Structure 1
Amino acid sequence: MSPTFLSQAMTVARRDVLRERRSGEVLWVTLPFGAVALLLIPIAISTDTLTLRRVGVGMFWVVVMLFGVLIAVRRTTADSTAQRDMVALTGMDPAAVFTGTALANFLLLLVFETVLGVLTVVLYDIDLSGAQWFPLILVLVAVGLALLGTIAAGIVATGRSTAALVPLIVAPMSVPLLIAATQSFEGLRLGKSILTWILMLAVIALVLAVAGVLSARPLQETG
């Protein structure tokens, strides 16, 4: 990657983070809704503490997947058609724009995951065995979700697909992320090796990154 590519990507990422800082959409809207979802689940299930402890991690990842992709998609589609056209006219590399947008989404998702993760540990009394692996798993899932949401939003932004198609695009591709994430934590709880699941998360992120970079220019030209 050339310095120009990196500087362009960082410029886009900085713009998106500053935009979120002004709007507070993730901090004041999406994050509270995710927290409320985690609070309501124990009330709805109304079961014993042991069962809640077992399902807590799964509930955490379901909430992260549902709200996490929403964060990535909404942040990416915040640009109007005129704004996207203006970015294209500046001559910025579409792949750099994609990378910067995905980076900003990753940072927001990582904050979202961390806050909800702490809340999940408190509410569900989660077993912290293998806690040294938690940051890596959270980072890999955040990367995957950020890339997936950015790609989906890029497809919608072309104008040939409606926002209603986002769930159809995202849901099938988020299933491997959900499985790998939940099985990683389950493996830690049982004292088993989680290397296979970690590699699966890394491969998913790599495939999505390559797909996003390669499709960035065609999607921009289509839009």
Structure 2
Amino acid sequence: MTAQAATTPSPWRQCVELARKDLRLELRTGEVLLVTAPFGAVALLFVPLAIGPDTPLLRQLGPGMFWVVVLLFGVLVTLRQSAADGPAQLAVLRLCGVHPGVRLAGRALANAMLLLTFQAVLAPVAIALYNPDLTGGLWLIPAMVLVAAGLAALGTVAGALAEGLAGRTILGPLLVVPVALPLLLGATQVLATARHEQAPWPWLLLMLAAIGVIALTVALVARFLEESA
């Protein structure tokens, strides 16, 4: 084993370090917790204001509205300005021998952590405003994890496709939202199925299959996206 091979971090270590770099940058800028999360909470507030004191209807709409807000505002989380690497940063990563797929995986890991935080902030707001029926609510935990993972991967690919473009924050949602429909469908049906005392494994497997397809796509196009950037 050569000295260079012995000192070169593994791809997993590179991925974790890149994710840590993105998370540290987010802590300094506060784009998610200080900007996007408050706007998401306000979006949840609009529906009760528009409908009025119709408690049964609000309880029925609550879970769906939560996931719609997570999807729409979650795209903005993955496309935040702090997630845009400049030419100098990309050049440094190339010189360090970081594979394009590892770079995208690190970005996706950081996005997933931020999306989980975003969902954790919005969930109490949705419960307070809509008072939904949380029978089988424990199934929401794997649903939140899968939504965060899938949306993070989609947002990472969309951000790489739109990298360097002036309309990055406009083009990104147009690319992500249509493809994220299986995640939205599965997430909304998980709680509805659990209320009927049935295990929502088919919907979780649907979401997991969608994530697998997205991850495979990222692995296949990572080199092309790096060269085009």
Q: TM-score, normalised by structure 2?
A: 0.90
Question: Judging changes above 3 Å, is the alpha-carbon distance between structure 1 residues 215 and 158 closer, same or farther for their aligned structure 2 residues?
Answer: farther
| Corresponding residue to 1:130 among 118, 125, 136 | 136
Summarize deviations over 1:45-88 as a string: whole Å, max 9, x none. Answer: 22510100000001001100000011012257432233223322
| Corresponding residue to 1:198 among 182, 192, 204 | 204
After the TM superposition, which parts of structure 1 deviate over 3 Å for at least 4 consecutive aligned residues? none
The answer as to 2:50 corresponding to 1:82 is no
The answer as to 2:47 corresponding to 1:41 is yes
Percent identical pairs in the alignment equals 44
Question: Judging changes above 3 Å, is the alpha-carbon distance between structure 1 residues 162 and 88 closer, same or farther for their aligned structure 2 residues?
Answer: farther
**Structure 1 residue 192: Cα displacement:** 3.2
Matches within 5 A, 1:1-223: 4-74=10-80, 77-157=83-163, 162-163=167-168, 164-223=170-229
**Structure 1 residue 3: Cα displacement:** 5.9
Question: What is the count of residue pairs matched by the alignment?
Answer: 221
Asked if the contact 2:26–2:82 (Cα under 8 Å) also holds between the matched residues in 1, the reply is no
Summarize deviations over 1:151-176 as a string: whole Å, max 9, x none. Answer: 100111165x9423223211210111
Greater mean deviation of Cα atoms: 76-85 or 20-29:
76-85
Cα distance in structure 2, aligned partners of 1:167 and 1:122: 28
> Where do 5+ consecutive residues of structure 2 fail to align?
1-7
Tell me, what secondary structure is at the counterpart of 1:157? coil
Question: Judging changes above 3 Å, is the alpha-carbon distance between structure 1 residues 76 and 97 closer, same or farther for their aligned structure 2 residues?
Answer: farther
Cα distance in structure 2, aligned partners of 1:28 and 1:167: 21
Cα distance in structure 1, aligned partners of 2:73 and 2:217: 23
Asked if the contact 2:137–2:191 (Cα under 8 Å) also holds between the matched residues in 1, the reply is no
User: Alignment RMSD, CA only?
Assistant: 1.8
